[in-house]
Amino acid sequence: MIEVKNLHKSFGDTHILKGISTVFEKGKTNLIIGQSGSGKTVFLKCLLGLFPYEKGSIIYEDREYNNLTDDEKRDLRAEIGMVFQGSALFDSMTIMENVMFPLRMFTKQSRSEMEDRADFVLKRVNLDGAHHKMPSEASGGMQKRVAIARAIVNRPKYLFCDEPNSGLDPKTSIVIDNLIQEITDEYKITTVINSHDMNSVMEIGEKIVFLKNGYKEWEGSNKTIFKTDNEAVTDFVYSSELFKKVRRMYMDENS
């Protein structure tokens, strides 16, 4: 679990995050959504410790991030897996070497132990046999699955995903969504996803935090988002005719 209390972040005179409070729950897929400029990327980077914040607190279980020593922050980082928007694989490394990278950084395992663990997670994301390929030989969907394998190879307690479906076709996006959901459930990870993909919101949004202009405008789930009368949320979610039709169908069925 990650608890956020009254979080504020500014860049110079520009106030980006304006008192955000929420809880990201263990074993659930927690989504941060909002329009461009809403603050969701800055929020994610504050959660990751990449941006310092001026006021408020971010608490990992019972550890307040700003109160940790450098060594304690390093220990916390070893508990975090990250899936970057563009996968961020090392072009000069094989897929196996990419997946092993966090183990080399944060563990003292032997080469054979690291290879065994990397082999296990690659099989878990259905990439058995891709170990010796280079990233350039993999499709966008395969690269994303490699990124997920790398993110979970060190058995993280927390998994962060920044626009995991960016650049993927709808069918592959569903595969990635399902994989993230399965891994979250299987390993009881606290998963936080920064997304603009409404299909992801509807499919795996067990907890949704909607930001607008740096404020937490609404929070709920993919089950309750259809019921909200918050105008900012409905304008964002139902900006397409497809989702307007879905909402009308839902309201008709539950009226």
CATH of the domain at 93: 3.40.50.300
pTM of the shown model? 0.88
Which pLDDT band holds residue 167 (cuts at 50, 70, 90)?
Answer: confident
User: Residue 34: what are its φ and ψ, rounded to 5°?
Assistant: 155, 165
User: What average pLDDT score do residues 230-255 get?
Assistant: 66
* Rg value, the chain, Cα: 19
> 188 in helix, strand or coil?
coil
Residues 6+ away with beta carbon under 8 Å from 209: 22, 30, 31, 32, 33, 216, 218, 219
In the predicted model, is pLDDT for residue 68 greater than 70? yes
Question: Which range, 178-187, 218-227, 240-249, is most confident?
Answer: 178-187
- Could you tell me if residue 221 is left (phi over 0), alpha (psi between -120 and 50 degrees) or otherwise beta? beta
Percent of the chain with pLDDT over 70: 93
* CA distances (Å), origin 170, targets 14, 67, 186, 191, 201: 36, 42, 24, 21, 13
For 61, the token pair is 């279980």
Which pLDDT band holds residue 232 (cuts at 50, 70, 90)?
Answer: confident
Tell me if 241 is assigned to some domain. yes
Tell me if 20 is assigned to some domain. no
Tell me if 204 is assigned to some domain. yes
User: Minimal CA–CA distance to 229: which of 218, 240, 221, 239?
Assistant: 218
Number of domain units in the chain: 1
In the predicted model, is pLDDT for residue 39 greater than 90? yes
Tell me if 12 is assigned to some domain. no
Average pLDDT of every residue of the chain: 89
DSSP conformational letter for 67: G
pLDDT at 243: 56
pLDDT at 255: 59
User: What average pLDDT score do residues 153-164 get?
Assistant: 92
Which pLDDT band holds residue 105 (cuts at 50, 70, 90)?
Answer: confident
For residue 105, what are the domain limits?
Answer: 28-49+75-253
In the predicted model, is pLDDT for residue 192 greater than 90? yes
CB 181 within 8 A of CB 189: no
* CA distances (Å), origin 166, targets 3, 55, 87, 163, 205: 27, 31, 10, 5, 17
pLDDT at 242: 53
pLDDT at 247: 58
C-alpha 215, offset from chain centre: 19
Point out which residues pair with 207 in neighbouring strands: 30
Which of 245 and 88 is assigned the larger pLDDT? Answer: 88
pLDDT at 196: 82
Tell me if 249 is assigned to some domain. yes
Percent of the chain with pLDDT over 90: 64
Which of 2 and 252 is assigned the larger pLDDT? Answer: 2
Which pLDDT band holds residue 95 (cuts at 50, 70, 90)?
Answer: very high
User: Residue 21: what are its φ and ψ, rounded to 5°?
Assistant: -130, 130
Long-range contacts for 61-64 (Cβ within 8 Å, ≥24 apart)? Answer: 61/1
Amino acid at 181: Q
